[in-house]
Amino acid sequence: MAASWEFSRTLEVLDRKLEEGKRQLLDDPTVAAASPVWNTTQKRRLLIVTSWRSGSTFLAQILSSYPGVFQHYEPLMHVGLLQIRPGDEAAKAAVQHLNSLLQCK
């Protein structure tokens, strides 16, 4: 129960800091005019590649807590790959699968 409360509190602090930074950037007319950073209507695709025990599960939980975010946990698990080697048929299938995910298919 305490871990859930700490996680919620962390998200609240991050949200507040993000809003403060956004306000500061938007107060500067040169930055506001030139930066599409705060365009929340534009779709973005992000592929995060990590190694084991790197905190990627925690990061995914944070990112997917926001509405409209889709997260696919270990997308290559179904291929059964431990290591991808160039030219391997499984590698080609893995690349096709990742492309499909990034195209939202």
Token duo for residue 34: 């030139």
CA dihedral of residues 63, 101, 41, 19 (deg, nearest 10): 10
Which amino acid is present at 14?
A: L
- Reduce the DSSP state of residue 41 to 3 states and report it: coil
Percent of the chain scoring above 70 in pLDDT = 71
Note the pLDDT of residue 89: 79
Q: Over the stretch 15-51, which tens digit does the pLDDT of each residue have?
A: 888 888 777 766 776 665 555 555 566 677 788 888 8
Amino acid letter, residue 95: V
Mean pLDDT, the chain, whole residue set: 76
Bigger pLDDT: 65 or 28?
65
Residues 6+ apart with CB under 8 A from 39: none
Instruction: Provide the residue ranges of all domains of the chain, joining segments of one domain with +.
Output: 1-42
